[in-house]
Structure 1
Amino acid sequence: MFEPIKSFFDDFSAYLRAWYLFLKKRFFILAGVLENVKSEGAHFLYRQRGRFARPISHFSVGILVVLVIALSPLVSWEKIEFGGNESQILGTIDASFTALGSAGQSSSNLQGRGGIAEYQVVGGDTVSSIAQKFGVSLDTIRWANNLKSVDDIKPDQVLRVLPISGVLHSVRRGETVYSIAKIYSVDPQAIVDFPFNTFIDDETFALAVGQELVVPSGVMPKVKLWSKPAPKTDYLAEAPVSISDQGQTQPTDQFIWPTVGKISQGYFWYHKAIDIANSAAPAVVASRGGIVLSAGWNAPQAYGIHIIVDHGDGYKTLYAHLSSVAVSPGQSVLRGQVIGQMGSTGRSTGIHLHFEIRAPKGNVNPLSYLQQ
């Protein structure tokens, strides 16, 4: 009775064993072939002494990029309403960052959106209306999208819109922040300070070929502008008033210029300060009297050597990128007293003073408080 069943299991076991031996043999044959191919390939590359190393590495990186793109969400959608015209903004995921003068704030608090947005044109849109919606110049949209005329847009077209007026630059071989800044007539510090620009090396500000940089307030050379030129704000910082020259007539709660030089960068949503540049590295004085809270190379490191003075009424001033300090924490200082020397420490591209006035409710534009 059990003989047929036993015979079936014996035959089935023999069948499985035959398949096992067959696959095992084929596996070792395939492994041997792959080993030979690997050996021949390695020998070939060795004989070529690295001739194909770069193409192979580029091909591998390309495959990796394709995989990342394929496996990642392609687009993040966010709805933004602009006074009755509802449009879709692509790729505007909120990002948090720390910009000098805006510690603890997010990009949404500063500008309502982060990075470069993609805007889908709807019926009735014009380049001018889109520029007004985003608070940038016509030329900013023109240059970022290679528009030939103001009529060169149509419904459903997707436009790239920078978060600030300026130029979107694609880095070419051999370029630096300094050479790029010269092309667009801006200070290189403005490129470095823009919080969405990244660098291979944050100390040297090295760039990668092909990466995109936002050049704030940049202007394309040798082109006729569509937008009216912005009001010129190229102030010269006056020489600070010395303690002996202040007299008794000036109110002691008035801020004075902390140093002398050229205003190389103004006050923006991401740069809540002014930069005063001077290659002679002059002395820096207290803009108002008060107590020194900190002096030296303290956090955040981006400020380099810096001083913070508390004026006792909710206002504080900060002096950053100094080369040296002449005061210490807890020390009382008078308005016009020398507290340090202008320098280029921290996240800096050249000799300048980063000057902030911190009011009780946050940073304010120093130019509104300084005599001009």
Structure 2
Amino acid sequence: MAARYGLSVDTILWENNLSEKDSLKPGTELRILPVDGVRHKVSRGETIYSIGKKYGLDAAQVQVIVDYPFNEFLNDETFELATGQYVVVPGGKPPEKTTSAATTRSGTTVARAAQQTPDAGAVTATGSFVWPASGRITQGYSFYHKAFDIANQGGGPILAGDSGTVTAAGWDSSGYGNRVIIDHGNGYSTLYGHMRVLQVSVGQTVSRGSVIGQMGSTGRSTGTHLHFEVRQGGILLNPGSFLR
């Protein structure tokens, strides 16, 4: 059953209050979540932060609750929850379970020194991307989150993944907050969201690895991080296939 829906066995067990020793009979109905994780009924006074902590998420990883498209909030700016509603916590694990300490993609550390590179004038894209920020990947690419989130509590510079021309720089009301979009001239473009400070303007050319702004938490964001997208036409691609 788990293989059929692309889920872990634990996710199905948790959602249906089953144990590994339980057997299923013909006709048994199961609740199936769309993603690995847990579903939580909100109690009075709970927040996305307290719920995330309960299921093993740190403050930077709580963004996954906000980004999950079927979770609803009373207020899209404060992420207030209604008592009695259900929210899905992608990647969450019940507190009573003892899990292994295996490293996952969500815990991958990205360590790259920020490089201040001047505007290069005429530029040519390389077709591969440098890491756009230093920090930790707190949310990877999925069917509902077609991007990488890289968090760093201390903030830090945001780097152009590849050379290109800035086509957008400023506030985006759809949730990105302060964002920059770079057209790399080879069919690819990249987006950098939730920035605190923008250090480029529309029409400016940037070199691969040059500083384009500072990490922040603007727009639909729960904490300081970079939301990084790789686009080809109207398709959002997995950044992990391009980062070097």
Paired residue type of 1:238: A
Q: Distance in 1 between matches of 2:170 and 2:88?
A: 31
Match of residue 296 from structure 1: 170
Deviation at 1:230, TM superposition (A): 7.4
Question: Which whole-Å deviations, capped at 9, do the CAs of 1:332-372 have from their partners, x for residues lacking one?
Answer: 1111111111110111000000001113472222122222x
Q: Distance in 1 between matches of 2:140 and 2:102?
A: 13
Match of residue 149 from structure 1: 20
Say whether 1:348 aligns with 2:221. Answer: yes
Match of residue 171 from structure 1: 42
Q: Distance in 1 between matches of 2:234 and 2:83?
A: 41
Q: Distance in 2 between matches of 1:240 and 1:317?
A: 20
Equivalent residue pairs, number: 233
Question: Which whole-Å deviations, capped at 9, do the CAs of 1:190-246 have from their partners, x for residues lacking one?
Answer: 000000000111110001111111110111123256xx98762221122246266xx
Match of residue 18 from structure 1: none
Q: Distance in 2 between matches of 1:252 and 1:131?
A: 41
| Distance verdict in 2 for CA 1:353–1:367, change over 3 Å | same
Counterpart pick for 2:90 among 216, 219, 224? 216
Match of residue 148 from structure 2: 274
Match of residue 310 from structure 1: 183
Are the aligned partners of 2:114 and 2:211 in contact in 1 as well (CA < 8 Å)? no
Counterpart pick for 2:66 among 192, 207, 212? 192
Q: Distance in 2 between matches of 1:238 and 1:264?
A: 14
Are the aligned partners of 1:240 and 1:257 in contact in 2 as well (CA < 8 Å)? no
Are the aligned partners of 1:241 and 1:256 in contact in 2 as well (CA < 8 Å)? no
Q: Which has the larger radius of gyration?
A: 1
Q: Distance in 2 between matches of 1:160 and 1:357?
A: 34
- Large movers: runs of 4+ above 4 Å: 228-231
Are the aligned partners of 1:240 and 1:256 in contact in 2 as well (CA < 8 Å)? no
Question: Which whole-Å deviations, capped at 9, do the CAs of 1:309-346 have from their partners, x for residues lacking one?
Answer: 00000100100001121111111111111111111011
Match of residue 37 from structure 1: none
Counterpart pick for 1:358 among 231, 238, 241? 231
Percent of aligned pairs sharing the same letter: 50
SS at match of 1:203: coil
User: Tell me, which stretches of 5 or more residues in structure 2 are unaligned?
Assistant: 118-124
Counterpart pick for 2:8 among 137, 153, 157? 137
Counterpart pick for 2:137 among 263, 273, 291? 263
SS at match of 2:44: coil
| Distance verdict in 2 for CA 1:252–1:178, change over 3 Å | same
Are the aligned partners of 2:114 and 2:133 in contact in 1 as well (CA < 8 Å)? no
Say whether 1:183 aligns with 2:33. Answer: no
Q: Distance in 1 between matches of 2:116 and 2:163?
A: 10
Question: Which whole-Å deviations, capped at 9, do the CAs of 1:248-292 have from their partners, x for residues lacking one?
Answer: xxx833310111111111111110111111111101111111010
| Distance verdict in 2 for CA 1:231–1:279, change over 3 Å | closer
Are the aligned partners of 1:240 and 1:285 in contact in 2 as well (CA < 8 Å)? no
Ranked by relative contact order (alpha carbons within 8 Å, sequence separation 6 or more), the top structure is 2
| Distance verdict in 2 for CA 1:293–1:352, change over 3 Å | same
Alignment of 1:31-110 (within 5 A): none
Q: Distance in 1 between matches of 2:212 and 2:35?
A: 35
Match of residue 162 from structure 1: 33
Are the aligned partners of 1:240 and 1:258 in contact in 2 as well (CA < 8 Å)? no
Deviation at 1:152, TM superposition (A): 3.7
| Distance verdict in 2 for CA 1:356–1:350, change over 3 Å | same
Deviation at 1:298, TM superposition (A): 2.5
